[in-house]
Structure 1
């Protein structure tokens, strides 16, 4: 069964919009795990517009499943991850002013940089993952960095699926086969939802984990958080 890691950035966005501590991020993280999710994901950004660096420090007190911290490995981010020591760090090449992640790494151009960053995290017993587009040469390049896993950037798949084009899965199948061949674990995330997650899971060999936040929280407004977590778990069986 593919693990479900719930990205709680949107909970922090809602909290920050009003000030104070409602909703309580730590309480929601605890509840999400109690509802069955196998991981909690956060993606702190330098301006701390949703997840704050202090949130990253506080969450280990309640996260008893896998803890995944995503972000661009600038110095402040690296220092935070090395301090917190989550289960996994996912490296994402997003600009400081990006609304959301919108591209994977060029693992060939940035190979030397990624090698150094990944080596430091792995020396601290933190599992590493690289956010990548479903392009075979980028998967092969990722294998050369020493990373444990890749996270397939699934926006293109989600967009094609919404249009009724299930062939949008093909580049992801090819990428997964390459990853399997070079012994990279496979994660996935971005714009996965209750409509498209099961088909993705069914077609990607050895999919270890999906990270879902925006859609899951939006769907929970109508269906309830506990119910939606359970629905995703069924999709991932």
Structure 2
């Protein structure tokens, strides 16, 4: 099984917004990375629209012919957008309004009732659901209880430890993916995955369906070129 690469294009929106115009063009970039072989597009609109704007989600819908993944905290404004756009997948992330980036997964036990209600709403509208979680076995069991189709393993700690030479940091991710597989839950992953660590992670984690990569991929592309970097990820995921 080849793990799918979904490219998070938030940073392209950040560059565009920095000048107040339409360069780089977000829609063109999404078209290009799909043409280069990426199997999905991810966006993460935040309430302040500091990078991805809500209108971007609408503008991208007609041109994303691969997997379309919209991430975010399920406040009402976000839910209304997702139900309007109807992407392939919605990934629920418990990020605070002022968070620079996502920094924790859901407590699926504490927030069971809330997550169950939100997930049911999306699934009733034909949208695949995924929830952002830390690699903790009890949290994976809780994910089963709320009815999500998939989980997205939060990989920041793995990436940090791997950069220090600690390859054993992969073990909680292996264990949680195996448990999710037992429960019939699909496994995605994301956060700080890069060309440095992606091959090891994808090789070790069983039945990894999809990785969402943005910051590292865009940063690497500055030096190596976007088409080249997309294909480098694809080769490492084979």
TM-score between the two structures when normalised by the length of structure 1: 1.00
Residue in 2 that maps onto 1:227: 228
Deviations 1:83-128 (A, max 9, x none): 0000000000000010000000000000000000000000000000
List runs of 5+ in structure 2 lacking aligned partners: none
Residue 186 of structure 1 is matched in structure 2 by 187
Question: Aligned ranges for residues 14-93 of structure 1 at < 5 Å?
Answer: 14-93=15-94
Q: State the distance in 2 between where 1:205 and 1:234 align.
A: 18
Listed as ranges, the matches of 1:119-130 within 5 Å are 119-130=120-131
1:208 corresponds to: 209
Deviation at 1:136, TM superposition (A): 0.1
The CA deviation at 1:61 is 1.8
Alignment of 1:80-229 (within 5 A): 80-229=81-230
- Offset at residue 44 of structure 1 (A): 0.2
Classify the secondary structure of the residue corresponding to 2:90: strand
Report deviation, 1:151.
0.1
Unaligned runs of at least 5 residues, structure 1: none
Q: Distance in 2 between matches of 1:231 and 1:20?
A: 31
Whole-angstrom CA distance in 2 between matches of 1:101 and 1:180: 25
In the TM superposition, what is the alpha-carbon distance from 1:230 to its structure 2 partner?
0.2
TM-score (norm 2): 0.99
Query: What SS class does the counterpart of residue 100 from structure 1 fall into?
Result: coil
Q: RMSD of the alignment, in Å?
A: 0.3
